[in-house]
Amino acid sequence: MPSSGTGTALERLSGVREVVDGVFALRLGMVNVHLVVTDDGVVLVDTGLPGQAAAIERAARKLGTPHAILLTHHHPDHAGSAAALRERTGARLFAHAAEAPFLTGHFQADEPEGRLRKFLFRRLAKVEPTKIDQLVGDGAEPLPGFTVLHTPGHTRGHLSFLLDRAGGVMFAGDAATAEKGAVERFAELDFEHAVFGHGPAVSGRAAEQLRPR
């Protein structure tokens, strides 16, 4: 685990910000990628847009070798560099089964999410298909310290990940912008911090702030 001094130095060098001990946010344009330092190496939560693998690798280099990628969902601003990072680092890729057709390139273009995928391809650039190493669902513990929450709404297979550290860190992806049901999943839990695919993190009683009003 890096010391606070290491975190401060990394922030100066690569523009990342340490949210809590060993959890770093890397802002790449409109999207956040998160890097988590664990005993086994670095875990990436989402991978940004296509073409951002090199920037993510530079940030990770000061922390350790990426060994796992947890994907919240298949949209190009979250999964865009998954194929490149998986190939370049050897990291294992984890995602929900409902996201698999879009990540592997086997989706049906005439389905609603398929039409959205084609639109996003045109707007945000083509996402290279990749293999998923492990499908995960609600309640799974794919890596030490991480618990999976299925939070559909933004996409059918959208996942959030709760890290057992610093009172709980919720990696919410785009779930907080989705339908009420996804946010209600957060209401079942207590966690101190929440980070998102877009926008700033919330620290201090984050679960209360995300509960439906």
| Tokens 């996804």, located at residue | 182
Q: Work out the end-to-end distance of the chain between its first and last CA atoms, rounded to an integer number of angstroms.
A: 37
Is pLDDT at 19 greater than 50 in this prediction? yes
Place 96 in a pLDDT band, splitting at 50, 70 and 90: very high
In this structure, which amino acid lies at residue 91? A
Pairing of strands 16-20, 23-28: antiparallel
Mean per-residue pLDDT for 171-189? Answer: 83
Q: Which DSSP category does 138 fall into?
A: T
What per-residue confidence (pLDDT) applies to 182?
A: 77
Mean pLDDT of the chain: 87
Whether 73 has a pLDDT exceeding 50, the answer reads: yes
Q: Using CA atoms, how far apart are residues 67 and 43, in angstroms rounded to an integer?
A: 6
* CA gap 67, 74 in Å, rounded: 20
Pick the residue with more confidence: 5 or 65? 65
Decide which of 3.40.50.720, 3.60.15.10, 3.30.930.10, 1.10.730.10 is the CATH code for 4-210: 3.60.15.10
Question: What mean pLDDT do residues 184-193 have?
Answer: 90
Residue 96 contacts residue 150 (beta carbons within 8 Å)? yes
181 or 45, greater pLDDT: 45
Backbone angles phi, psi at 42, to 5 degrees: -95, 135
Domain boundaries, the chain: 4-210
Reported for 205-208, long-range contacts at CB under 8 A and 24+ positions apart, including other chains, are: 206/170, 207/168, 207/170
Section 86-90 average pLDDT? 97
CB 163 within 8 A of CB 143: no
Residue 123 structure tokens: 């707007």
Strand, coil or helix: 82: helix
pLDDT in tens, 104-138: 987 655 455 555 555 555 555 677 999 999 999 99
